[in-house]
Amino acid sequence: MNLAETGTRTATSPTQALPLAAAPGIEAWHVASPVVPMIALSFTFEGGAAQDAEGKAGTAQMMARLLDEGAGDLDSDAFQEALAARAIELSFHTGPDSIGGSLKTLLTHADEAIRLLSLALAEPRFDQPAIERVRAQMIASLRYQQNDPGVLASRRYFREAFPGHAYGRPSAGTVETLSAITRDDLVALHRAVIGRGGLKVAAVGAFDEAAITGMVARAFGGLPEAGPLKPVPPTAINELGRRIVVDLDVPQSVIRFGMPGVAWRDPDFIPAYVLNHILGGGAFTSRLFQEVREKRGLAYSVGTSLTSHRGVAMTWGYTATKNERVVEALDVIGDEIHRLITDGPSDEELQKAKDYLTGSYALGFDTSTKIANQLVQIAFEGLGMDYIARRNDLVASVTQADIRRAGARTLGDGKMLVVAAGRPTGL
């Protein structure tokens, strides 16, 4: 599938999707970067933690962690030794709607790295000792986090925001759900998710198009078509306007708050992104940072970001403050949101936000791994090969009218779902 015109390749300007006749269903992007003799590969499969069965939350995360715990004729120790012997970096991760991974290796070890990646994806062993070891590690992590206010606030937020929905379940599972996961569950999820259909791949490194075509075919071409995925129904944030306390005996409350958002592929995403930078996305220049931290000293950090899943988009915020100042902090946050709703940003604020966002964009492409990760994310969202070339123009063209329209969709009437983990006074 060709996603862009063929042209000059640079490290930050991918220009060609590689059609792989030997492996239909795979969309692959290639950037030649001859400066360093290495390869960075990033890939994403459709279907993540939202595919976990009821009562089996954590299956996707456990499965991803087991992919390099033995594959083919190599048990866990032998597989890890094969990676370490050639300094091959291979990792896997799980999101709500995807399971992905990355590979980094020197060009001289590319054949072995591709072989190991292919084994991990196509022939994971899921040996019972490895399953029990990873299960124990995940349960130990949950127990370690059981008094972490940030973790508790986030989990409670998603449970209240999306009750009865896959997004409301903890992706890392619970002690009970992790204990219930069987090898058959892991095999079934692997069969459903790890396949060629919908697979996105990006490769950056010192090789030509023919070489990377062969590498991608060897790494992924042997995979079957993925099995049917459970549909993830659209949802929306529940309980807007509600403030919830997770009682925890700590001197400072950790706060999570959220409002509606717009998906990355939505035409209003870029205006919403600029607006979010003004509200809370700009690390030191945002309104929330200035009002909450700089002027009042209420918190060390405060911010917002846009989150886009297949079934919901959200404006997601965070801060932490002394228990006795939680209400004050939330009032300041609410006041700034309402100021943006009623007055919007000034022309100067808008221009500064656009200048920063266009000027800093290239920093996300300063390593081969970052380039590969960015390309896969763009492919996963279906934004098109030319998005990188178009993106700064889209940001620069945002008007006050665009901001008002995006604000109506994201900030709405200013109501937020708020969860504070601690012992906030007066909440």
Q: What is the DSSP letter of 412?
A: T
Residue with tokens 């299956």: 59
The pLDDT score that the predictor gives to residue 23 is 67
Residue with tokens 């594959």: 71
Q: Give 10's pLDDT tier (boundaries 50, 70, 90).
A: very low
Task: Provide the percentage of residues in the chain whose pLDDT is more than 70.
Answer: 95
Cα torsion 368, 372, 378, 384 to 10°: value is 90
Tell me the mean pLDDT in the region 389-402. Answer: 97
pTM of the model: 0.92
Structure-block tokens of residue 38: 């290495």
Which among 245, 265, 259, 251 is positioned nearest to 288, based on CA atoms?
259
Structure-block tokens of residue 43: 């890939």
Q: Give 208's pLDDT tier (boundaries 50, 70, 90).
A: confident
Tens-place pLDDT, residues 141-168:
999 999 999 999 999 999 999 999 999 9
Tell me the mean pLDDT in the region 164-176. Answer: 97
In 315-399, which residue ranges form alpha helices assigned H by DSSP? 326-343, 347-360, 368-380, 387-396
Residues 6+ apart with CB under 8 A from 340: 275, 278, 279, 287, 407, 411
Q: Give 226's pLDDT tier (boundaries 50, 70, 90).
A: confident
Residue with tokens 């000034």: 346
Tell me the mean pLDDT in the region 44-66. Answer: 97
Q: Give 228's pLDDT tier (boundaries 50, 70, 90).
A: confident
Residues 6+ apart with CB under 8 A from 230: 50, 51
Integer Cα distance of 173 and 232 in angstroms: 18
Q: Which residues pair with 321 in a beta bridge?
A: 253
In the predicted structure, residue 398 carries a pLDDT above the cut 60:
yes
User: DSSP string covering 280-312, please?
Assistant: IISTTTSHHIIIIIITT---S-EEEEEEE-SS-
Strand pairing of 199-205 and 26-32? parallel
Domains in the chain (CATH in brackets) are 16-220 (3.30.830.10), 243-422 (3.30.830.10)
Are the C-beta atoms of residues 263 and 313 closer than 8 Å to each other?
Answer: yes
The pLDDT score that the predictor gives to residue 24 is 75
Tens-place pLDDT, residues 36-49:
789 999 999 999 99
Tens-place pLDDT, residues 277-315:
999 998 789 999 999 999 999 999 999 999 999 999 999
In the predicted structure, residue 198 carries a pLDDT above the cut 90:
no
Helices (H) and strands (E) in the chain, counts: 15, 11
Integer Cα distance of 380 and 34 in angstroms: 26
In the predicted structure, residue 133 carries a pLDDT above the cut 60:
yes
Residues 6+ apart with CB under 8 A from 370: 364
Are the C-beta atoms of residues 241 and 415 closer than 8 Å to each other?
Answer: yes
